[in-house]
Amino acid sequence: MTSNQSRRNFLKETLLTTAAGWTLSVDQALNAAQTTASGLHIAPFKFDVTPPIGHSCCGGWIKPIEVVDDALEAVGIVLLGAGKPIVLCAVDWTGLLNEAHVEWRTALAQAAGTTADRVAVHCVHQHNAPMACLEAERIVAAEGDLPHVLMVDFFKRCLDAGRDAVAKAVKQARPVTHIGHGQGKIEGIASNRRVHRDESGKVIAMRGSACTDPKLIALPDGLIDPFLKTVAFFNGDKKIASLHYYATHPMSYYADGRATSDFAGLARKQRQQDEPDCHHVYFTGCAGNVSAGKYNDGSKAARPILTKRLYDGIVASEAKLERTAVNGQALAWKTAEILPPPLKSLHAEKLAQQVSTKTSGVVYRNRPSYMLSWLHRVEKRIPIVLSSLHIGGVKLLHLPAESFIEYQLRAQDFAKDNFVCTAAYGDGGPWYIPVKEEYPNGGYEVSVAFCEPEIDDVMTEGMRRIL
């Protein structure tokens, strides 16, 4: 889907508009129609997205790539035989935002012979990795003295590699006879970042991805989803692909210039080595307010410990897979287009001035470029696409940006009789997405959110409709 098509569809299919200025649309055509999975085929794919030496990491405000410890990859599947093909992809990058996310979805859609609204692309969110926003790169590059957000030639090479990998994969698609689902409880990784509060509920201090403060470490896990969930696709007794979902920031230590898929990617790769004939994909869930901070001191010794705990969770979830024949199972792909309102305090002229203030640090100049990109996107009315794949009693939900864990738990509540897996870190345009109750409580995540609290209402309603 092109940007112009997105805008036309968004305006044409609007179902709900409020005085607050946000809008929701739901695709009522084939994407929302229910069919059966009797002719389902799967085409796994993978391609390298390791940035070159010197590439910026995490938006340009931490050390750029100096060494590659392990490859960054884009890993996914194409499902065929249920209307137009469906593409699910996880990328070992910090983020894909706005135009960059649309371009990824469009490129993979073209290669698969489908439309961009049937493509879900999510970042795992490692920080020693690129964070791609094409407009932010244009804004930053115009200044002449800031680190590049993105090497555009490298970005284009990744799109070419993706087209090639998907096109080759669909020619070798294999039948799917059964789908399996299971979950394993993980101890000692996920912990809520926002647990230290005053009597009124305001956040006093947070546990980041790493924490060494004994008082913060001693606090409870807080609100998390402790389960790693897996959905697997089989051809007879042969497991072809396993999709894994777990909600935590995936960093042990970073900002050292060493490209790595970190403990989430390393656990996936270890499982892939166990089962070279099964394609393993890892999605980060709603981890905007969840990290390993309680269990991670940021030392090099912590990474293999976290890797093993996540790997053990993958193994445990697969050991409990419940298989169901797909023949005759109901299958649907549902989408909702949303355009949440930006913060009223964001003003284009002020943001442009912040980018140009040469006495400020890089983070205080680069981050406003992302805010400015979001404002421009909203002005153009280019929506974010929420999507959900339903296969029998399994529902896969695809959400944007750094969504709080509450959204993942809500999704499970909306579809209590189903096995719901949630991938966040899709379109990163809105940055953090807190729930509206947390805006008055402050804290880091709220301070860098780009949208008004109404984003909660519109995203929750979109989730409800597609689940």
H/E/C letters for each residue in the chain?
CCHHHHHHHHHHCEEEECCCCCEEEECCCHHHCEEECCCCEEEEEEEECCCCCCCCEHHHCECCCCEECCCCEEEEEEEECCCCCEEEEEECCCEECCHHHHHHHHHHHHHHCCCHHHEEEEECCCCCCCEECHHHHHHHHCCCCCCCCCCHHHHHHHHHHHHHHHHHHHCCCEECCEEEEEEEECCCCCEECCCEECCCCCEEECCCCCCCCHHHHHCCCCCCCCEEEEEEEEECCEEEEEEEEECCCCCCCCCCCEECCHHHHHHHHHHHHHCCCCEEEEEECCCCCEECHHHCCCCCCHHHHHHHHHHHHHHHHHHCCEEEECCCCEEEEEEEEEECCECCCCCHHHHHHHHHCCCCCHHHHHHHHHHHHHHHHHHHCCCEEEEEEEECCEEEEECCCEECHHHHHHHHHHCCCCEEEEECCCECCCEEECCHHHHHHCCHHHHCECECCCHHHHHHHHHHHHC
Read off the pLDDT of residues 161-172 as tens digits, 9 standing for 90 and up.
999 999 999 999
pLDDT of residue 61: 85
pLDDT of residue 21: 38
Tokens 């059964």 belong to which residue?
Answer: 178
> Where in the chain are the domains?
3-466
Q: Name the residue type at position 254.
A: Y
pLDDT of residue 59: 87
Rg (CA), the chain: 21
Please state the pTM of the whole predicted model: 0.94
pLDDT of residue 82: 82
pLDDT of residue 33: 53
pLDDT of residue 34: 63
> pLDDT under 50 in the chain at which residues?
1-32
Q: Which residues contact 45 (CB under 8 A, 6 or more apart)?
A: 75, 76, 77, 78, 165, 166, 168, 169
pLDDT of residue 28: 36
CA–CA dist 318, 158 (Å, integer): 31
Which tokens sit at 106? 């469009």
Which tokens sit at 197? 């509060």
